[in-house]
């Protein structure tokens, strides 16, 4: 029972073996629920474990088994409810299957995020799910092919070798939004994006741009805020409305930015939806209580989380290397008062 540099010592498997008068290996067998252990021996070992308050060291175990029963999860900001819901969904699913989730913030400073994923790997995770906010596809491919574990990307529908991509069908979502707006008589549609999730922003804007251009006189460049938050959305929408005072609809990158647009309209004395209609993405609960409540593309975060977990699990269990596959999720337009 050696001591840690600071604090109390924790018993090891040897301590348990000594107390129970068996070998380490027998303790190991009891822990693994191995069948061929005499019932009496098993009881002795279990009693010793209980007495000592022994807990196996998962790092030592993982070193030998090359399996930590741990997956890594990385996103820029867990407080963003789409990320948060996905993370929570994966945690729940993981627990059901005896896995733990190691959650980490994805940092731009850290090699555009690759460094963060590498650290997850050095921590010994068996697989990784992440939102590729600022990572380049080529970097992701390189990472995945050298990672030695399954890698799932959520939020972008790029086909990348060795990576399972799970994403909203951005084209379908954009069509839903723009059809709805055009049917409501809107013709001059502006877009609010942000610099925090440039990769997802890119896909979303491309899809929206196509949909808008094909149904109206065309789309102009989006206004990009630094962060996808209420106050930044408000500023961005104000800028947009100054540039194009004739806009009759604004699509925000997410609900939070759309809420900012709501505020900007209030500021400028514009009625929503009569003067300007507003649409967001994600379907967060707060969107239901703004005035007017927000029309939004609902994302099935939990469903995507389940799919991500299952993709990781099946790769690990079958030993199948990841082929590179894109799973697109059907969007749903929740129409409320803002359109």
Partner DNA sequence: CTGTTAGCGCCTTCAC
Partner DNA sequence: GTGAAGGCGCTAACAG
In whole angstroms, the minimum distance from the beta carbon of 156 to its own copies comes to 22
Contacted by 77, from DNA, its own copies, none: CB < 5 to 8 Å by type: its own copies
- HSE-CB at 29 with a 13 A cutoff on CA atoms is 17
Is residue 9 near its own copies by the rule CB under 8 A? yes
For residues 128-157, which are near its own copies according to CB under 8 A?
145-150
* Cβ neighbourhood burial of 150 (10 Å; 0-12, 13-18, 19+): buried
Instruction: Choose which of 43, 47, 50, 63 interacts with DNA (CB under 7 A).
Output: 63
Cβ neighbour number for residue 55 with a 10 Å cutoff = 9
CA 214, 215, 217, 223 torsion: positive or negative?
negative
Selected range binding DNA among 49-57, 91-99, 139-147, 268-276, rule: CB under 7 A: 49-57
Give the chain's largest Cα–Cα span. 84
In whole angstroms, the minimum distance from the beta carbon of 42 to DNA comes to 7
Contacted by 148, from its own copies, DNA, none: CB < 5 to 8 Å by type: its own copies
Query: DSSP letter string over 239-275?
Result: HHHHH-TT--EEEESSHHHHHHHHHHHHHTT--TTTT
* Cβ neighbourhood burial of 79 (10 Å; 0-12, 13-18, 19+): exposed
For residues 93-112, which are near its own copies according to CB under 8 A?
95, 100-105, 107
Contact 200, 237 (CB under 8 A): no
> In the numeric block, which tokens belong to residue 22?
């068996």
Contact 100, 94 (CB under 8 A): yes
CB-nearer residue toward DNA: 49 or 279: 49
Alpha helices in the chain (DSSP H): 13-20, 24-31, 39-52, 58-65, 81-96, 114-122, 137-147, 170-183, 198-215, 230-243, 255-267, 301-318
Selected range binding DNA among 35-43, 202-210, 215-223, 224-232, rule: CB under 7 A: 35-43
Q: Tell me, residue by residue from 280 to 309, as one string, x for binding to its own copies by CB under 8 A and - for no binding.
A: -----xx-xxxx------------------
Report the distance separating Cα 224 and Cα 239, nearest Å. Answer: 10
Is residue 62 near its own copies by the rule CB under 8 A? yes
Contacted by 104, from its own copies, DNA, none: CB < 5 to 8 Å by type: its own copies
CB-nearer residue toward DNA: 29 or 234: 29
Selected range binding DNA among 10-18, 184-192, 274-282, 303-311, rule: CB under 7 A: 10-18
Report the distance separating Cα 180 and Cα 177, nearest Å. Answer: 5
Instruction: Choose which of 133, 229, 295, 299 interacts with its own copies (CB under 8 A).
Output: 229
Residues that bind DNA (CB under 7 A): 2, 12-14, 21-29, 31-32, 35-38, 40-42, 54, 56-57, 60-61, 63-65
Q: Which residues bind its own copies (CB under 8 A)?
A: 4-10, 53, 55-60, 62-63, 66-68, 70, 77-79, 81, 84-85, 87-88, 91-92, 95, 100-105, 107, 118-119, 121-124, 145-150, 229-231, 259, 262-263, 285-286, 288-291, 315-316, 318-321
């Amino acid at each position: 029972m050696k001591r840690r540099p600071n604090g109390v010592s924790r018993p090891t498997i040897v301590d348990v073996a000594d107390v129970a008068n068996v070998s380490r290996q027998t303790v190991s067998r009891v822990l693994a629920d191995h069948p061929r252990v005499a019932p009496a021996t098993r009881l002795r070992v279990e009693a010793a474990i209980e007495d000592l308050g022994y807990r196996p060291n998962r790092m030592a175990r993982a070193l030998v088994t090359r399996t930590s029963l741990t997956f890594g999860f990385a996103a820029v900001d867990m407080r963003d409810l789409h990320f948060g819901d996905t993370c929570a969904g994966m945690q729940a699913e993981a627990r059901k299957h005896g896995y733990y989730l190691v959650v980490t913030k994805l940092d731009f400073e850290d090699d555009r995020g690759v460094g963060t994923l590498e650290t997850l790997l050095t921590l010994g995770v068996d697989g990784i799910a992440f939102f590729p906010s600022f990572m380049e596809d080529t970097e992701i491919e390189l990472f995945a092919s050298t990672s030695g574990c399954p890698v799932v990307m959520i939020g972008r529908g790029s086909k990348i070798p060795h990576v399972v991509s799970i994403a909203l069908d951005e084209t379908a979502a954009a069509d839903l939004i723009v059809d709805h707006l055009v049917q409501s008589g809107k013709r001059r549609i502006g877009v609010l994006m942000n610099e925090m999730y440039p990769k997802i922003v890119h896909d979303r804007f491309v899809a929206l741009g196509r949909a808008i251009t094909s149904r109206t006189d065309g789309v102009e460049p989006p206004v990009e805020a630094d962060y996808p938050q209420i106050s930044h959305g408000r500023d961005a929408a104000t800028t947009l409305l100054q540039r194009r005072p004739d806009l009759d609809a604004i699509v925000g990158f997410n609900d939070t930015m759309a809420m900012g647009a709501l505020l900007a309209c209030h500021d400028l004395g514009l009625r929503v939806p009569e003067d300007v209609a507003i649409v967001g993405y994600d379907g967060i609960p707060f969107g239901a209580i703004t005035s007017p409540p927000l029309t939004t593309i609902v994302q099935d975060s939990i469903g995507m989380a389940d799919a991500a977990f299952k993709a990781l699990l099946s790769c690990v269990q079958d030993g199948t290397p990841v082929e590179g596959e894109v799973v697109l999720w059907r969007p749903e337009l929740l129409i409320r008062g803002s359109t």
